[in-house]
Chains A and B, each alone.
Chain A
Amino acid sequence: GENVEQHPSTLSVQEGDSAVIKCTYSDSASNYFPWYKQELGKRPQLIIDIRSNVGEKKDQRIAVTLNKTAKHFSLHITETQPEDSAVYFCAASANDYKLSFGAGTTVTVRA
């Protein structure tokens, strides 16, 4: 099955700086890569996703890059704000079926 690895497990950044989270996946059939933000005790919220037919996608301060050859994808958050503090999960799936999640990254933005 699919194995998704995520690094780092924790990330502390100064407000205004950038945050980068990296994930790798094992199944070459995976073609959908969403990123979720989860606040304590709440549901995961989709913040951005990318499909295998593109290499990069951006939505305001958030961007995701995908390298299919190397089987890795990354989340970039620029101009971080205190409200960006949360746990972020990457995930991968093949043909829009079940998701395999990374272990999560706890991001803390210091004011």
Chain B
Amino acid sequence: GAVVSQHPSRVICKSGTSVKIECRSLDFQATTMFWYRQFPKQSLMLMATSNEGSKATYEQGVEKDKFLINHASLTLSTLTVTSAHPEDSSFYICSAKYPIEQFFGPGTRLTVL
């Protein structure tokens, strides 16, 4: 149990375009999901906390207008990287809290050309 999926697993886009990443809890409901970014050979950096039915809470230094988060249901949170640039290329990982443990999605590799 407690499976989290992410889609897509890999995306390549042109600079200036927007990319949406979905995070789903498959067999449980998650009121809280988290979005992380991980650059090569670095740690997971929390970007924002996504709460179902309310606005996301962003960590210091993360632009909320660039990284749009929508947690529209108890099983789905989406992260949209708007006007992506090459420096946004990274591994984006979500996690869902159930009930107190965090379960991680498989990650999305974003490459911006």
List chain A residues, Cβ under 8 A from B49.
98
Chain A contact-residue range equals 10 to 19
A88 to B13, CA, bound (A): 31
Interface string of A93-108 (1 = CB under 8 A from B): 0001011111110000
Tell me which of A43, A49, A98, A104 contacts B43 (CB under 8 A): A104
| Contact of B42 with A98 in the complex, beta carbons under 8 Å | no
Q: How many residues of B contact A (CB 8 A)?
A: 18
| Contact of A43 with B104 in the complex, beta carbons under 8 Å | yes
A99 to B45, CA, bound (A): 9
Interface residues of B in 78-111 (CB under 8 A from A): 91, 93, 97, 100-102, 104-107, 109
Interface residues of A in 28-73 (CB under 8 A from B): 32, 34, 41-46, 49
List chain A residues, Cβ under 8 A from B44.
44, 89, 101
| Contact of A103 with B104 in the complex, beta carbons under 8 Å | no
| Chain A CB within 8 A of B46 CB | yes
| Chain A CB within 8 A of B67 CB | no
Tell me which of A42, A44, A99, A104 contacts B42 (CB under 8 A): A104
Interface residues of B in 1-53 (CB under 8 A from A): 34, 42-46, 49
List chain A residues, Cβ under 8 A from B91.
41
| Contact of B46 with A99 in the complex, beta carbons under 8 Å | yes
Residues of chain A at the chain B interface (Cβ within 8 Å): 32, 34, 41-46, 49, 89, 96, 98-104
Residues of chain B at the chain A interface (Cβ within 8 Å): 34, 42-46, 49, 91, 93, 97, 100-102, 104-107, 109
A/B interface sample: 16 pairs, CB < 8 A:
A34-B101, A34-B102, A41-B91, A41-B107, A42-B107, A43-B106, A45-B104, A49-B101, A89-B43, A89-B44, A96-B100, A98-B34, A98-B46, A101-B45, A102-B43, A104-B42
